Every structure is written in structure tokens, then in C-alpha cells.
Structure 1
């Protein structure tokens, strides 16, 4: 187990280094000029040159990259061009909200997908209806789903707040503001998890040991929960690692719909302002979260399937 964790951590470091290097290279070809975005079109050449020196943009790309890597070794993500503040501070202020939104969305997707998959596997007549409903949800754009839920539960039935975030001082108020965005993410990804769980359950239910349990008179509900759900959940757990990444990117759209001050809004602002240090820091943090999601999935495998060995 220890050797496995060490290998995965080393692989995670290599992955983060590759992600940061690719982002740095792509940003060099991104159209736009951060100096012009700050000073405007009428700025004098002297003012432009002074700001370029202050921001370090007058150095060759290779030197800027090495300087950024040296900062990473000290856990320093640099300073934002747009906000003139440390990138780590900006990201840290908004990370908790985005991470809470992703975890709520992922948990909600599981709460929707697994019971419905069990219901579809136990009652074939409702299988077709549930499969059609999930296919419809999968085809609906996330932003449209968010607008529909916002109108239904914040405008037509004013049960939940429509937008904004009050902060974490009042946890209950914060949760109320996150419920609609999390529900949007959960419904958008529940369809994918449902189809995977349903297919896996139907495959497991065709195995010989399931037929043996039924022949012994074991109740059908107990067969599903005790004998089928655990082995059928392995492909779903595999999919969870990918869904964590999808939810992180999907949260950008959802945060825009519900006006949440998370990483998504910060990324859009950084992109508009050509804030290269902030963009690099955001991509690095998101890549780190995706790596952590996948590491957690690998560890869950051992809990769900005793046959899995960590060499």
C-alpha cells in the first residue's frame, strides 16, 4: 500500500508538471496583450515598457517559465496581473466554494443514479421510461438546465435563493445558496452514472451466483443490495474519477448562471484580462483536484473489491 501511494504521488507530480508546462506553452500563443488590457490603447511606449518590466513580461519565455517553476518549488504561484495579489490567495478564497459545489453535485448525482438504477434493474417495465428520462437529461445543456431550475425554484416557487453567495459565516445560508447549483450539476451527471450503474447491475444479475441465491429463496431486494450492488459499483467508482473532472469544468458554467464567486468566474476574468499567472495557477489547482479524485477512486477499489491488491 505504501509503495502504491508513493508511485501514485510521483505520477501525480509528473502529471502536474506536464499540465503546467502545456498551459504555459499554450498561453504564449493566446491572442491579446495583458499590458494593453491594463493600460488601454492610448498608453505611451514608455508606460508600456515600464509595466512589462514590472510584470516580468520583457524576459524571454524560457526564463519566465524557469522562474515560475522555481516559485512552484516554494509553493508560490506568482502574482496576478489583474488583481495585483498573490495567485495562491485568490485561488484559496474561492476554492472552498467550488470544491463544495463539486462534492455536492457528485453526491447528488450518486443519490439520484444508484436508487434509480436499482429500481430499473428490479422492475423491467420501468426500465425503458427511466432510460428515456436519463437520455433526455444527458442531452440537455447544463446552462439551460440551470436556468429552468432557477425559474422553477427561485422565481415561480421562491423556495431557494436565485444567485449570489453570502459566505461561510452562516453554514445553513451557504448551503441554501448552493442547493440549486449543486442540483443542476447532479442532474446533468446523474444520467451518465445511471447508465453505467444500470448496465453493470444487469450484467451482475446474469451471473451464476445470483441465480443460485434466487434459487435458495433469497428475497429479490436482498439479492440486489447484498449480492449485486457491491460488485456492480466498481465501474461506477471508475467513472467517478472522470466525473470529478467533468464537474469541475461544468461548474464554470453553473457558477456563471447562479453568479457564484468560485473558480469558474475567476478563470473567466483571468482569460479576459490575459492574466497568465492566474490562469496557470487555476489550471494547476484544477489538475491537482482531478489527480486527487482519481487517487481516491483507486483507494476505494480496495474497499469495494478485496481481490484488488496494491503492489
Structure 2
């Protein structure tokens, strides 16, 4: 177990370094000039040169890359061009909201998909209706689903706040503002989890030990909960790890629809302003979260299936 964790940690560090290097290289190819975005078109050459020196943009790309990479190892991600604040401080302000939104979306999608998958395999008459409903939800774009839910639950039936975020000073009110965007993410991803859970349950229910349990007279509900659900959860756990990374990037659209000050809105602002230090810090933060999701998935495998060994 210790050797497995060490190898996974080394692989995670290599993945983060590769992600940071690629984003630095790709940002050099982006059109646009951050100095022009800050000073405007009428800036004098002297003002442009002074700002370039203060931002470090007058140095060669390799020197800037090595300087930024050294700062990462020291925990310093640079200063945002757009906001004039340390990137680490901006990430610390926005990360809790995005992380809470992603976790609520994951839990919500699982809470929707798993019971419906159990209902689908338990009662074949429900299977066609539930499969059709999930296929319909999967076909809807996330932004359209968000707008529909916003109209239904915030405008037509004012049950939840329409947009904005009041901060974490009042956890209950903060949760109310996150419920609608989290529901949007959950519904948009529940269809895929439902299909995976249903297929996995049907495969497990065809195994010999399930037939043996049924032949002994074990009730069908007990067979599903005690004998089929746990082994059928292994592919679902893998998909949840992938979905965590998808929701991090998909939350950009949801945060824009519901005007949430998370990493998604920060990324859009940084991209428009050509804020290279902030974009690099955002990509690094998202890569860290995706690597963490994948590591948790590997550990959950051992808890769900005792046959899994960490060599």
C-alpha cells in the first residue's frame, strides 16, 4: 500500500509538471497582448515598456518559464495581471465555492442515478421509461438545462435564489444559493451514471452466485442490495473519478448562468484579459484536483472489492 501511494504520488507530480509546461507553451501561442489589454491602444511605447518590465514580459520565454516553475515549488504562483493580487490568494478565495459545487453535483448525480438504476433492473416495466428519460436529459445542453431550471425553480416557483452567492458567513444561505446550480450539474451527468450503473447491475445479476442466492429463496430486494450493488459499484466509481474532472471544467458554464464567483468565472476573466499567471495557476489547481479525484478512486477500489491488491 505504501509503495502504491508513493508511485501514485510521483506520477501525480509528473502529471502536474507536464500540465503546467503545456499550458505555459500554449499560452505563448494565444493571440492578444496583455499589456495592450491593460493600457489600451493609445498607450505610449515608454508606458508599454515599463509595464512589460514590471510584469516580467520583457524576458525570454524560457527564463519566464523557469522563474514561474521555481515559484511553484516555493508555493508562489505569481501576481495576477488583471487583479494585481497574488494568484494563490485569488485561487483560495474562489476554490471553496467551485469545489463545493462539484461535490454537490457528484453526490446529486449519484443520488439520482443509483436508485433509478436499481428501480430499472428490479421492475422491467419501468426500464423503458427511465432509459428514455435519461437519454432525454443527456441530450440537453448544460446551459439550456440551467436556464430551464432557473425559470422553473427561481422565477416561476420562487423556491431557490436565481443567482449570486452571499459568501460562507451563513452556511445555510450559501447552500441555498448552490442548490440550483448543483442540481443543474447533477441532472446533466445523472444520465451517464444511470446507464453505467444499469449495465453494471445487469452484468452482475447474470453471475452464478446471484442465481444461487435466488435459488435459495433470498428476496430480490435483498439480492440487489447485499449481493449485486457492491460489485456493480466498481465501474461506477471509475466513472465518478472521470466525472469529477469533467464537472470542474463544466462548472464554467453553470457558474456563468448563475453568476457564481468560482474558478469558472475567474478563468473566463483571465482568458479575456490574457492574464497568463492567473491562467497558469488555474490550470495547475484544476490539474491538482483531477489527480486527487483519481487517487481517491484508486483507494475506493480497495474498499469496495477486497480482491484488489495494491502491489
Is 1:28 the counterpart of 2:28? The answer is yes
Q: Deviations over 1:71-111 (max 9, x none)?
A: 01101111100111100000100000000000000000000
In 2: Cα distance, 1:69 partner to 1:245 partner: 24
Give 3-state SS (helix, strand or coil) of 2:119's partner. helix
Give 3-state SS (helix, strand or coil) of 1:57's partner. coil
Q: Structure 2 matches for 1:5-154, cutoff 5 A?
A: 5-154=5-154
Give 3-state SS (helix, strand or coil) of 1:77's partner. coil
In 1: Cα distance, 2:212 partner to 2:141 partner: 44
Is 1:173 the counterpart of 2:173? The answer is yes
Q: Structure 2 matches for 1:198-213, cutoff 5 A?
A: 198-213=198-213
Q: Indicate the RMSD between aligned Cα atoms, in angstroms.
A: 0.4
In 2: Cα distance, 1:238 partner to 1:165 partner: 32
In 2: Cα distance, 1:91 partner to 1:177 partner: 20
- Gaps of at least 5 residues in structure 2 are none
Consecutive aligned runs of 4 or more in structure 1 exceeding 3 Å deviation: none
Residue 149 of structure 1 deviates from its aligned partner by 0.3
In 1: Cα distance, 2:241 partner to 2:173 partner: 29
In 1: Cα distance, 2:231 partner to 2:72 partner: 41
Residue 125 of structure 1 deviates from its aligned partner by 1.1
In 1: Cα distance, 2:196 partner to 2:91 partner: 34
TM-score by length of 2: 1.00
- Gaps of at least 5 residues in structure 1 are none
Q: Deviations over 1:193-212 (max 9, x none)?
A: 00000000000001111011
Residue 257 of structure 1 deviates from its aligned partner by 0.3
In 2: Cα distance, 1:99 partner to 1:53 partner: 36
Residue 155 of structure 1 deviates from its aligned partner by 0.2
Residue 43 of structure 1 deviates from its aligned partner by 0.3
In 2: Cα distance, 1:50 partner to 1:171 partner: 45
In 2: Cα distance, 1:35 partner to 1:156 partner: 45
In 1: Cα distance, 2:132 partner to 2:78 partner: 49
Is 1:184 the counterpart of 2:184? The answer is yes
In 2: Cα distance, 1:159 partner to 1:239 partner: 32
Residue 26 of structure 1 deviates from its aligned partner by 0.2
Q: Deviations over 1:139-158 (max 9, x none)?
A: 10000000000000000000
